[in-house]
Chains A and B, each alone.
Chain A
Amino acid sequence: GNSVTQMEGPVTLSEEAFLTINCTYTATGYPSLFWYVQYPGEGLQLLLKATKADDKGSNKGFEATYRKETTSFHLEKGSVQVSDSAVYFCALSDRDSGNTPLVFGKGTRLSVIA
């Protein structure tokens, strides 16, 4: 079945450090890939997405590139801020009708210290 594996946390970085959160997936066919962010006390928000190989999703300084050859979708940011402290989830969906739930990774907690 489909699955998502992301790096274990927590990750603690100093402000302005470079961030990478690894995500790899197993899926049949060509899934769409997503990164979600959950700030403390809130629900999940879509951060970025990519729907086909070599697509790069980007938002708020975060980027992730859909790498079919390595089945990866690593999240990166060049300079993190304290406000980026949150839990980040990698997720995938099959190319389906939209009537199936996304498959989520376990989440990676990021703490950014000033």
Chain B
Amino acid sequence: SAVISQKPSRDICQRGTSLTIQCQVDSQVTMMFWYRQQPGQSLTLIATANQGSEATYESGFVIDKFPISRPNLTFSTLTVSNLSPEDSSIYLCSVRGTANTEAFFGQGTRLTVV
């Protein structure tokens, strides 16, 4: 199993500013995944972060808006830039273990943009 510490747990930000979310895992993992969960919706994958290389973004998400860092095998950050009210969501980081294992999630960051 993996324990993920994600922070902040929530924040209220002014439009036009940025928020950086941190995700710390208690073990080394190859890939880390970042999701967005809009109010009342399912999870949408933003990007996959591999240590030592640029993150791979899903369709509709771009690096300028959602820059990701992955400096080592236990840590990653997601920044949500140039905030607008439409960015108000829960953001989740996730990891998996070996083949056939489940995904583990951080507790999420609830972002409100005003």
Contacts and interface: CB of A to CB of B under 8 A. Distances in A.
Q: Give the interface SS of chain A, mostly helix, strand, loop or mixed.
A: loop
Chain B interface size, under 10 / 10 to 19 / 20 to 34 / 35 or more: 20 to 34
Contacts, number: 66
A43 B97 CA distance: 18
A106 B42 contact: yes
B94 to A, nearest CB: 7
A101 B102 contact: no
Contact of A89 (B6, B43, B94, B100): B43
Interface string B27-56: 000110100000011110100100000000
B100 A32 contact: yes
Given A89-B42, A89-B43, A101-B45, A43 B105 contact: yes
Interface string A64-105: 000000000000000000000000010101011111111011
Interface of B: 6, 30-31, 33, 40-43, 45, 48, 92, 94, 96-108, 110
Interface of A: 32, 34, 41-46, 49, 51, 89, 91, 93, 95-102, 104-107, 109
